Amino acid sequence: MKKYIIVPSFLVLFLMTSIPSHAEPNYYQPAEESKEELMMDLFLSLLLPDIQKAVSNYYSDFLTESPMVYPYQINILKMERTNGYRGFMFLVTLEVTPVVGPHNPVGKDQLTFSITPGRVTLKNFKHIETYELPPNWQDIKKKK
């Protein structure tokens, strides 16, 4: 009789525990508090005004309030030098999640910037996904 209780108990316990995943995210994350993380944060902080401008421009057709993009909601998908080793022309592709109010996500977007000394140019803006706003934020949607 005891084994009818013990075996299912072990099965439930085994199935309820989380199994760690070692899957890689599809974007690179440097080690915490490393110089590389510091440089990445600095880079995103400098790029943030251009990201914000592109996002505000896109969502102005759909929302009365401009969504915000926070640095921790930006993922670098791809970075490359476009003119060879130690060249200072770059192409950077980012994925951002803009939010309104208390961090209500409005969508997911992919932005590609061309970066040269003294100039940042938006090359491509691709809206990937639209998220539904909570009921108390429906009033910021523009009527069609």
> 18-22, 48-52, 61-65, 78-82: which has the minimum mean pLDDT?
18-22
What gap in Å lies between CA 125 and CA 127, rounded to an integer? 7
User: Does residue 25 have a pLDDT over 80?
Assistant: no
Tell the burial category of 69 from Cβ atoms under 10 Å away from its Cβ (0-12, 13-18, 19+): buried
Do the strands 99-100 and 74-81 form a parallel or antiparallel pair, or are they unpaired? Answer: unpaired
CA distances from 63 to 3, 32, 111 (A): 61, 36, 19
User: Does residue 47 have a pLDDT over 90?
Assistant: yes
Q: Which pLDDT value is given to residue 12?
A: 63
Q: Where are the domains of the chain?
A: 33-140
What tens digit of pLDDT does each residue of 84-138 get?
Answer: 898 999 999 999 999 998 889 999 999 999 999 999 999 999 999 999 999 998 9
